[in-house]
Amino acid sequence: MNDNAPVIYLKSLTNPIPENVSPGSEVGIINVQDRDSENNRQVRCSIQQNVPFKLVPSLKNYYSLVTTGQLDRELVSDYNITITATDEGSPPLSSSKTVQLSLADINDNPPVFEEQSYSAYVTENNKPGSTLCSVTARDPDWRQNGTVIYSLLPGEVNGAPVSSYLSVNGDMGVIHAVRSFDYEQFRSFKVHVMARDNGSPPLSSNVTVSVFISDGNSFMTELVPKSAHGGSLVSKVIAVDADSGQNAWLSYHIAKSTDPGLFTIGLHSGEIRTQRDISESDSMKQNLIVAVKDNGQPSLSATCSMYLLISDNLAEVPELKDISYEKNSKLTSYLIIALVSVSTFFLTFIIIILGVKFCRRRKPRLLFDAAVAIPSAYLPPNYADVDGTGTLRSAYNYDAYLTTGSRTSDFKFVSSYNDNTLPADHLRKSPSDFAEVFGIVILLLSTAPR
């Protein structure tokens, strides 16, 4: 009697398995048992048809689970394999077991850029550090095998290393300008950006980035009415190519714009039109960079910048100077700074000159006020005899000195060595006292005996 269903045992299983395993590789061993007797214990095993695996009989009631094709984790990372065992009884009994297999990632995919080439447009005299464009590469591998790192390939632009012109963010792929560009020096150049994964060994791919520099003095300004509807003609760009034949076929496109969804340009006509109705939320000042390319090999291109003012009349525009005269504003600032610096230096110089002259005039006055005290010996009440014989001792001698460079007649008296000389603190005189004493001294000297 067939009353026992087969039982499936999983003896061994390699999980996960490398995605680069060869077809025909054994990944598991399965054993099937049925406790019934005779034909009721005969068992057949099978799996579903939509997986790259199969069961291969090995020994009695043993099966090997092997691969039948190339595996790719990036397409299918996991497999659910259902093994079904059916006996030969009547009616037949069956059982099933599901085995889950995972694939281990192998770094077998290089990064792939989203575009075959990239273009960046910049107006001359740009600010260093400004963003030009960004590149993006995808790597379907897992974890570190799928981590993408960006870098600039070594090269030269105008005889200088490419790294002195551009830099790229290693994680995001954003390309920045290292310096300010000059339209008169060169109008375009190309660099190569490499995207490398972090696998072992690492895989990489490259892409070309073309940088186009537009003339900063070629700005055109157009007025767009606020009532403009979608499809309204705004302006027209006309370019001329000196080549002939298909090399002179020109195509226009908008390389960069303030609002990418607001304006469009005819591919071959160069007509700039609105894509939709103008709304109140749209910025009044719109900047467009239009690029035109020929059909030659290699293709050559040129760019021009256009400012669009969304306004019904110029009186509504806050300041047009912000658009056209930025350079003049900078020059004016430099001139003001230079004028203030020169004026400050001149004023400081005048103050120093006046200070020096004041100090020179003040110095004699200070010497006069702080003159050495006039020494004087004690004089008897009778300063001189009436007959002119005199009573002053001949030992008292006084010398007068004029101070060098003085405009006034300052005198210095050298004190005599006499015990009766008054202390210096009692002898300091004011200018008026000095004049009185000076007259007395002159009188005494005139009456001294010859």
Instruction: Convert the pLDDT of each residue in 397-447 to its tens digit.
Output: 444 444 444 444 444 444 444 444 444 444 444 545 544 544 444 444 445
What dotted CATH number matches 7-104? Answer: 2.60.40.60
pLDDT for position 248 = 78
Q: What is the mean pLDDT of residues 277-304?
A: 85
Work out the percent of the chain whose per-residue pLDDT is above 90.
36
> Could you tell me which of 29, 17, 109 has the C-alpha nearest to residue 71?
17
Distance (Å, rounded) from C-alpha 115 to C-alpha 135?
Answer: 8
What strands lie across the sheet with 301-310, from one edge to the other? 220-224, 301-310, 285-293, 251-257
CATH pick for 220-324 out of 3.40.50.300, 3.30.830.10, 2.60.40.60, 1.10.357.20 = 2.60.40.60
Q: What is the pLDDT of residues 168-217, one digit of tens each?
A: 999 999 999 999 998 888 888 999 999 999 998 999 999 999 998 887 66
> Could you tell me which of 24, 33, 29 has the C-alpha nearest to residue 4?
33
Res. 52 pLDDT band, cuts 50 70 90: very high
Q: Which of 409 and 284 is assigned the larger pLDDT?
A: 284
Res. 131 pLDDT band, cuts 50 70 90: very high
Res. 152 pLDDT band, cuts 50 70 90: very high
Q: Which of 367 and 224 is assigned the larger pLDDT?
A: 224
pLDDT for position 219 = 57
User: For 163-322, where are the E strands, in sequence order?
Assistant: 166-168, 174-177, 188-197, 204-214, 220-224, 233-236, 251-257, 263-265, 271-274, 285-293, 301-310
Asked if pLDDT for residue 240 goes beyond 80, the answer is no
The pLDDT mean for the chain works out to 79
pLDDT for position 123 = 85
Least trusted range by pLDDT, from 12-21, 289-298, 435-444: 435-444
pLDDT for position 329 = 60
- Residue whose pair of structure tokens reads 């300041």 in the numeric block: 319
pLDDT for position 218 = 55
Res. 226 pLDDT band, cuts 50 70 90: confident
Q: Which of 299 and 394 is assigned the larger pLDDT?
A: 299
Model's pTM, two decimal places? 0.51
CATH superfamily to which 112-214 belongs: Cadherins (2.60.40.60)
Where along the chain do its domains lie? 7-104, 112-214, 220-324, 371-450
Report whether 128 contacts 180 (CB < 8 A). Answer: yes
Report whether 128 contacts 177 (CB < 8 A). Answer: yes
Q: Which of 60 and 444 is assigned the larger pLDDT?
A: 60
What strands lie across the sheet with 233-236, from one edge to the other? 233-236, 271-274, 263-265
pLDDT for position 360 = 77
Asked if pLDDT for residue 385 goes beyond 50, the answer is no
Q: What is the pLDDT of residues 339-370, one digit of tens each?
A: 888 889 888 989 998 888 888 776 655 554 54
